[in-house]
Chain A
Amino acid sequence: MTTANTNRVIDAVWRIESPRLIAGLTRMVRDVGLAEELAQDALVAALEQWPEAGVPDNPGAWLMATAKHKAIDQLRRRTTLERKHEELGHRLETQPETMADLDVAMDDDVGDDLLRLMFVACHPVLSIEARVALTLRLLGGLTTQEIARAFLVREPTIAQRIVRAKRTLAEAHVPFELPPAPERAERLSSVLEVIYLVFNEGYSATTGDDWMRPALCEDALRLARILAGLVPNDAEAHGLVALLEIQASRSYARVGPSGEPVLLLEQDRSRWDQVLVRRGLAALARAEELGGALGPYALQAAIAACHGRARTAAHTDWARIAALYDALAQLAPSPVVDLNRAVALSMVFGPAAGLEIVDALVAEPALATYHLLPSVRGDLLAKLGRADEARAEFKRAASLTRNGRERSLLLERAAACASEPTPPGD
C-alpha cells in the first residue's frame, strides 16, 4: 500500500477510533487536553509506523496501548512529581497490559466514557462556538482545518477556540463525570443544542459551498445517533435523532435545478429519502414509547413526521400539526413557532384564523427582518381577497430576502395579486 493510501486509511481509523480513544484516556488522566495530546501522539506514531509495518489488525487497541505508554513515559519523566501524579502513574501501571485485555476494558467502559466526554465537550461553561468546535474535534474526529472549512472561519480561529475551551474546562475544574441527576436535563439540553446547531449549519449550506459544509448534516446525524444509543431512556435524544433524520431526508428536494430553495409544501416528495424518513419515524416512535409529554425536539420531530408521512402536500394532517405547534408554543415559545402555528391553523380553520395570529406578530421585533412573516401574511391576505394589502406584503418580503431566486418568486406573487375591485361609491 502506498503512503498516500495508508494515510487515507489512518484518517478513517482516526475518525472511527479517536472518540473512544480520547474518552478512555480522559478517564485515565482526568484532563481532556492532555488526553487529546496523548491521542494525537499515538496518531503521529501510527503515521510513522503503519506505512511500513501495515495497519494493525486491531487499530483501536494499538492506538490506546501507544497512548498509554506515552502517558506513563511522560509522567515518569517529570522532574517534580506531585504525589497525585505518582499515584496516577501507579494506577496506570496496574491497568490491563495485553491487547486483548485493553480491548475488553475499552468495550466495557467506553460507553460511559464516551457519554462523559460528550457532556464535558458541551459543558455550559463554554460558549456555544467553543462547544461546537470541541465536540467536532473530540467526538466528530474532524481536524481543525475541516472544522474551519465547515464553518467558514480561519483555521487559527478554530485552533484558538479549542485551546481556550480546554483551558476553561481545566480552570473551572469540570469533572469527568456524568452530570448528577438534578443537572442532567439541562446538561443534556446543552449537548442536543450543539448537535442541532451543527446540523443547521450544514443544512444552510448552498450548492457551490465546500463539501465539508453539507457534510456537517451527516456529522450531526451521526453524533445524534451515538448520543441516543448512550442515553436510550432520554426521549429528547431520540426526538433529536428523529428531527434530524426527517429533515435530512429532504436534502435533495429542497433545492431546485437552478439552486433555488424549494418550500416544503412545493417539494417533489419522490425525492425525499425514504430510508431516512423511516429511520426518523422509528426514532420518534422510540421517543413516544418512553412515555411522558414530548419535549421540544420530539415535538418538532412529530411535526416533521406529519409532513414526512404525507404522500402529497394535500394529504398533510394539518390538524395534528396545529395541535403539535400549540404544545410547542407552550413549551418553547418563540415568534417563529407562532408563525408556523398560524400557518397550520389557517390550513385547518381558514386564512382568517391564521391572520389573527400573524397580525399580532407584525410588531414582534424578532421577526422585523424575517421575510417569511410578510410572505405568510401576504399569502393569507391574498386568500382573503385583500389583494392590495397582499401585494404590499409580498413586495416587503421580497425586499427582506437575501436570496435572489426567492426574491423573484415573491415579486411574481406580488404581480399576480389581481387588483381589488373599487368599492361602490368611490
Chain B
Amino acid sequence: MRFMMFMMPNIPVEGEWMPTAEAMAEMTKYNETLTKAGVLLDLDGLHPQHEGARVEFSKGKSSVIDGPFTEAKEMIGGYWLIQAKSKEEAVEWAKRCPADGCMIEVRQVFEMDEFPPDVQAVAK
C-alpha cells in the first residue's frame, strides 16, 4: 500500500518560509530514516502558496485566484510518498517527523486494482 503524507507547516500566509539550518538537518535526517527503512518512494517540497494560484470551477466556468489564500493551517508545504502495510504504519512514520508546530495529513493512495474493471479499462 502507498500513502501520501502532506506536510502543513502552518506558517504565516505571506511569510517566506526559510527553515533554519538546524531544522533542515533534522528533516534531512528524517528523510534518511525513511530511505534506510526502505519505505520512502518519493518526496518533494512546494513553492510557497503566495506564488501559486487556484482555479475554481462553477456553472461551467473557471476562475483563477492568485495566492496567498487565507487558511494558513491547511497550506501544503510538501509531501512524502511512502510504502506501508497499513494506515497505522503510515501514521507511525508520520509521527516520527520532526514537525513541531506543523501538521501532517496521511492519505492512502488508490491502487489500480481498487477500481472496478470498467474503470480500470479506461484509466490510462
Q: Show the binding face of A for B, using Cβ within 8 Å.
A: 5, 8-9, 11-13, 15-16, 59, 111, 207, 215, 218, 221-226, 229-230, 252, 257, 268, 270-271, 275-276, 279
A94 to chain B, nearest CB (A): 28
> Once the chains bind, are A229 and B86 in contact (CB under 8 Å)?
no
Q: A257-B120, A271-B112 are in contact. Are A15 and B89 (CB under 8 A)?
A: yes
Q: Please tell me if B41 contacts chain A, counting CB pairs below 8 Å.
A: yes
By beta carbon, the residue of chain B nearest A253 is: B112
Interface stretch (choices B10-18, B19-27, B31-39, B55-63): B31-39
Candidates A9, A221, A252; contact of B112 at CB < 8 Å: A252
A207 to B111, CA, bound (A): 14
A5 to B88, CA, bound (A): 9
> Once the chains bind, are A226 and B81 in contact (CB under 8 Å)?
no
List 7 additional contacts besides A11-B89, A221-B38, A275-B81; criterion CB under 8 Å: A9-B91, A15-B85, A15-B89, A222-B83, A226-B36, A257-B121, A270-B124
Candidates B36, B38, B85, B113; contact of A252 at CB < 8 Å: B113
Residues facing A in B107-124 (CB within 8 A) are 111-113, 117, 120-121, 124
A381 to B124, CA, bound (A): 35
> Once the chains bind, are A229 and B93 in contact (CB under 8 Å)?
no
Q: Give the B interface residue count (CB, 8 A).
A: 24
A401 to B6, CA, bound (A): 47
Q: A222-B83, A257-B120, A270-B124 are in contact. Are A11 and B36 (CB under 8 A)?
A: no
Q: A222-B83, A257-B117, A275-B81 are in contact. Are A16 and B38 (CB under 8 A)?
A: no
User: Which residues of chain A are near B42, meaning CB under 8 Å?
Assistant: 275
A222 to B88, CA, bound (A): 18
Candidates B35, B81, B84, B88; contact of A8 at CB < 8 Å: B88
Q: Please tell me if B105 contacts chain A, counting CB pairs below 8 Å.
A: no
> Once the chains bind, are A226 and B120 in contact (CB under 8 Å)?
no
User: Which residues of chain A are near B92, meaning CB under 8 Å?
Assistant: 9, 12-13, 16, 59
Candidates B38, B41, B91, B113; contact of A275 at CB < 8 Å: B41
B86 to chain A, nearest CB (A): 6
Q: A9-B92, A257-B120 are in contact. Are A222 and B86 (CB under 8 A)?
A: no
> Once the chains bind, are A8 and B85 in contact (CB under 8 Å)?
no
B115 to chain A, nearest CB (A): 10
User: Which residues of chain B are near A252, meaning CB under 8 Å?
Assistant: 111-113
User: Which residues of chain B are near A276, meaning CB under 8 Å?
Assistant: 41
